[in-house]
Amino acid sequence: MIGALDSHVPEGPIEDRWTRHKFDMKLVAPNNRRRFDVIIVGTGLAGASAAATLGEQGYDVKVFTYHDSPRRAHSIAAQGGINAAKNYKGDGDSVFRLFYDTVKGGDFRSRESNVYRLAEESVNIIDQCVAQGVPFAREYGGLLDNRSFGGAQVSRTFYARGQTGQQLLLGAYQQMMHQVALGTVKLHTRTEMLDLVVKDGVACGVVVRDMVTGAVTSHSAHAVLLCTGGYGNVFFLSTNAKFSNATAAWRAHRRGALFANPCFTQIHPTCIPASDDFQSKLTLMSESLRNDGRIWVPLDRDDTRSPDQMPESARDYFLERKYPSFGNLVPRDVASRNAKAVVDEGRGVGPLRNGVYLDFAEAIGRVGEATIRERYGNLFDMYERITDENPYRVPMRIYPAVHYTMGGLWVDYHLMSNVPGLFVLGEANFSDHGANRLGASALMQGLADGYFVISYTLANYLAPLLGTRPVPTDDPAFIQAETSVGDTVARLLSIKGTRSVDHFHRELGKIMWEYCGMARNRTGLEKALSEIPALREEFWKDVRVLGGAALNQSLEKATRVADFFELGELMVRDALHREESCGGHFRDESQTEDGEALRDDDRFAYVGAWEWTGKGVEPALHREPLDFEYVKLTQRSYK
Amino acid sequence: MSGNGVTGNGDGAHPTIDIVLHVWRQAPGQEGRMVTYVEEARGISPDMSFLEMLDIVGERLIAKGEEPIAFEHDCREGICGSCGMMINGQAHGPERGTAACQLHMRKFRHGDEITVEPWRARAFPVLRDLIVDRQAFDRIIEAGGYITAPTGAAPDGNLILVPKESADASMDAAACIGCGACVAACPNSAAQLFTSAKLAHLNLLPQGQAERYRRTQAMVDTMEQYFGSCTMHAECQEACPKEISVDFIAYMNRDYVKAQLKNRRLQGQLAP
């Protein structure tokens, strides 16, 4: 059993905590660092930046990625930008303001001290990225350019065209590859982590599978860092890359790491609706489109005229109607929920009636087509390529899609899970975004964790271990984990059922989206709690994975989907227990008279961290209470 | 599944097409061969992406008890660079500036025969079906595709002024997604476009100057260990899903010539 959760947050004024704590923590001297082995799983922003930094400092680093190259990690797909409290525009930004906006944006479900540190380190990230050659947008004088993003009232977002994530990832990847060349970082590509090894309650290594040969091997270290991203693909359709999965995090959970706030999912309002049942993923378009596009549906569900034939009087601009002051710029969760509501009423548009219009006709009339092309040309092109419709002529169709998961493995202030020696960075942890994430903040968190936090907190953990050797890989703990991985693989290959892995994944996704998506209620969640285990049982009886262990993409998918079943069930359980609406999490039972989200701070101002207690056994909930000393608890209002 | 002719999915609103697919199938360590799929490639929606079409064919093969076609993919938004295949002899298929994942079936017509093969280059050995090993690209980056800037040592971002023109040109080059289409399209399997894009990204920036000539020499020399020689066909530019210009190759060649002199001078072997 696990005792009370200690977040190890330092004391004192919030603006001094991290600085003082950096002095208080123990150090590992440069000549001793090579005596420590560190394993990093994942090479996105968090993993690559951590590997580069720890390699430079002299640790013996091993990195694992399931991609053919570290540069493919899904951080690469982030479009918009990265926030930093530089205040280069002199428009009133500060570390405190970024901290304040992030706590509020997370709807008071994050840890103040972590968020303050994130805001503090944001400025160093920009410096680091500029030094390594990230081609950020510039003013004519050569200074860095900024823009306002996601409804922020200051211009604090740095960007590299619409490819900020790509450029930041390439920066971290290149810095890491330099270390690979120097031999401080050993890189294992096409290698997937399938278990965490824990001995006497301490993380001591991983079991991985070489995806080309199928060989299962063990690797031991003094510490393991999981930088394995989010779990949005539990919904099957999401904006995540097809390979993104929860297996590393879930395996760690099954070995004792707590999973915090799993139900906190971010649904992004401006995605292209699914076109048919074969759809494999959803494409996100930058929400900057909402600056000029007007969102509407027909007033009458039976009105099937084409949009250009539809007079103003027959249109319902539902966001402008319900939220006169914010209009189409309401936060992501509000926009998403309202779009779902009108589609559920039968007023959806498009061939499958599964979208709402995002109309630029008025903006084109106001500023001209050329200006709109300048602002959104690449997005309009992408939309046309996918849908074969020209958004300069007919309104775009959009619908919400799963985008980011705020929940993740529980970590303390040191980014260490409750399992000593296991650290979790980036989207894989739960820590900084609370119940909702602000735009342009995911890149910031991944890089803050990897470049500027982990090297301090890891040294603090390792220092007392000087002189110890990692647990040898022939230890029974490793043998047991290796056997269990081998058994799972063999079992999946031997079922030889009748349905493909994708079939089961799609079905799971439908349950999750229907009952644990944008709006949730007790009846639906309880239904999901009975449907998921039934489907999981069918999966283990009837899945068809053909071929052998060597380079087998169906087998790779099968191991991931098997874990999604268990995680999906936990998400539902978490959503069921949290009888409040907050951030991206909306419970039908908890709303104001006019249908807005109603948070319940008296009962739920805590982090809900779940402990795995065995297969088929209800998990145990641990609560970490949240105190708000610096940002006063207030309900959001966008009226 | 539908028969011949343009067929519908029931409501008549979404016609589907039937195609004939010739695909390179190759198990690890074995000889490969082209296999033709007719039944499995019927009733394809024009709104599907090319990879979704391969998904469907794969599902149908699984249903028949055959292994699906293995192909690389991940983001399916044209940015991760995982996907890549020769479609009717063209890298990423017929649509200019478009990765295979963003190519849609409406670019094809009912009855079309489509040939799908892996990247063809000695430096990219086939692992299975359409999956090749592109690690040689990582070796080129390792050799010098970075600016040495250890974490923690950076000055304030605005202390380094970068003219907007330089930043924009650098970004044009940095847009490379490392997919390998340039190598696959090149009759010599040369990697000049990939290498020059990274060199231009870094060499065009003030931050990249200290290591400019060392980097250029190291990356070009490593490239030549793995890849063929450039004879300026410019097929790479045509195939590039990010439409990266061959001008960067000229830039690289110039820097490489300069590097021969500068690197010796930097080491004190020539009088300034």
Domain harbouring B87, CATH code: 3.10.20.30
Q: Where are the alpha helices (DSSP H) in A70-163?
A: 95-105, 112-131
Does an H or E element contain A188, and which? strand A185-188
CATH number at residue B179: 1.10.1060.10
Contact yes or no for B182/B99 (Cβ under 8 A): no
In a domain, B93, yes or no: yes
B144 and B252 in a single domain? The answer is: yes
pLDDT digits (tens, 9 = 90+) for A265-280: 999 999 999 988 888 8
Q: Are residues B175 and B228 in the same domain?
A: yes
pLDDT tens track for B134-150:
999 999 999 999 999 99
CA distance A462 to A421: 9
Amino acid B3: pLDDT: 35
Given the structure tokens 């926030």, which residue do they identify? A83
- Whether B82 maps to a domain, the answer reads yes
The CATH number, out of the four listed (3.30.70.20, 3.90.420.10, 3.50.50.60, 3.40.630.30), of the domain defined by the range A14-263+406-465: 3.50.50.60
pLDDT, one tens digit per residue, over A183-229 is 999 999 999 999 999 999 999 999 999 999 999 999 999 999 999 99
Residue A331, token pair as written in the block: 């936060």
| Closest chain A residue by Cα to residue B51 | A280
Q: Which of residues 524-563 of A touch B (CB under 8 A)?
A: 544, 546-547, 550-554
Asked whether residue B153 is domain-assigned, the answer is yes
Q: Which residue in A has a C-alpha nearest to residue B70's C-alpha?
A: A553
The residue out of B76, B94, B128 marking a domain boundary is B128
Q: In angstroms, rounded to a whole number, what is the distance separating the alpha carbons of residues B63 and B68? A: 10
Q: With 70 as the cut, is the pLDDT of residue B20 above it?
A: yes
Q: Is A610 helix (H, G, I), strand (E, B) or coil?
A: strand
Domain boundary among B113, B128, B143: B128
Is the alpha carbon torsion for A76, A77, A79, A82 positive or negative? Answer: negative
Indicate whether B166 and B262 sit together in one domain: yes
Domain A487-606 class, CATH top level: mainly alpha
Helix axis angle, A14-24 relative to A112-131, nearest 10°?
A: 70
CB contact under 8 A, A126 and B157: yes
B-chain residues within 8 Å CB-CB of A128?
A: 149, 151-152, 154
- Contact call for residues A356 and A399 (beta carbons, < 8 A): yes
Considering only CA atoms, which of B102, B17, B107, B98 is closest in space to residue B51? B102
- Strands A37-41 and A60-64 come out as parallel
* B178 → chain A, closest CA residue: A71
State the catalytic residue, choosing from A17, A109, A117, A332. A332
Q: Is position B11 within any domain?
A: no
Measuring CA to CA, which residue among A539, A616, A525, A535 is closest to residue A574?
A: A525
Q: How many domains does chain B have?
A: 2
Domain boundaries, chain A: 14-263+406-465, 267-402, 487-606
Cα separation values, A186 from A52, A59, A226, A228, A384, Å: 11, 11, 16, 18, 43
What is the b/e burial string over B91-111, where b = at least 16 CB atoms within 10 angstroms of the residue's CB?
A: bbbebebbbbbbbbbeebeee
CA pseudo-torsion sign A554, A559, A560, A565: positive
- For the ranges A95-99, A504-508, B230-234, B266-270, the lowest mean pLDDT is seen at B266-270
Average pLDDT over residues B94-103: 96
Domain membership of residue B272 (yes or no) is no
- How would you class A210 by CB atoms within 10 Å of its CB: exposed for 0-12, middle for 13-18, buried for 19 or more? middle
d(CA A286, CA A284): 7
First vs last C-alpha separation in chain A: 46
- A267-402 CATH fold: Flavocytochrome C3; Chain A, domain 1 (3.90.700)
Residue with token string 């944008």: A518
Domain that holds residue B225: 135-266
Residues 170-189 of A with CB under 8 A from B: 170, 173-175, 177-178, 180-181, 187, 189
**Residue ranges of chain A with pLDDT lower than 70?**
1
Residue A120's alpha-carbon distances to A86, A97, A230, B198, in angstroms, are: 10, 11, 24, 32
Q: How far apart are CA B173 and CA B146, in angstroms?
A: 14
Domain assignment present for residue B30? The answer is yes
How far, rounded to the nearest angstrom, does the alpha carbon of residue A527 sit from its chain's CA centroid? 26
Q: Do B154 and B259 fall within a single domain?
A: yes
Residue A357, strand partner residues: A296, A397
Tell me the two tokens of residue A330.
């309401």
| pTM score above 0.80 | yes
The answer on B164 and B109 residing in a single domain is: no
The token duo for B32 is: 């490969």
CB A359 within 8 A of CB A327: no
Q: Are B92 and B144 contained in the same domain?
A: no
Interface size A-B, in CB pairs within 8 Å, comes to: 215
- Give the integer Cα–Cα distance in Å for A411 and B134: 36
Pairing label, strands B113-117, B20-25: parallel
Decide if A332 is catalytic. yes
Asked if residues B217 and B145 have their Cβ atoms less than 8 Å apart, the reply is no
Say which residue, B272 or B162, is predicted with more confidence.
B162
**Residue B7 within any structural domain of the chain:** no
B150 and B250 housed in the same domain = yes
Last residue within a domain, chosen from B128, B151, B185 = B128
Q: Which helix (H) or strand (E) holds A540?
A: helix A522-542
Give the C-alpha separation, A530 to A523, whole Å. 11
φ, ψ (nearest 5 deg) of residue A33: -65, -35
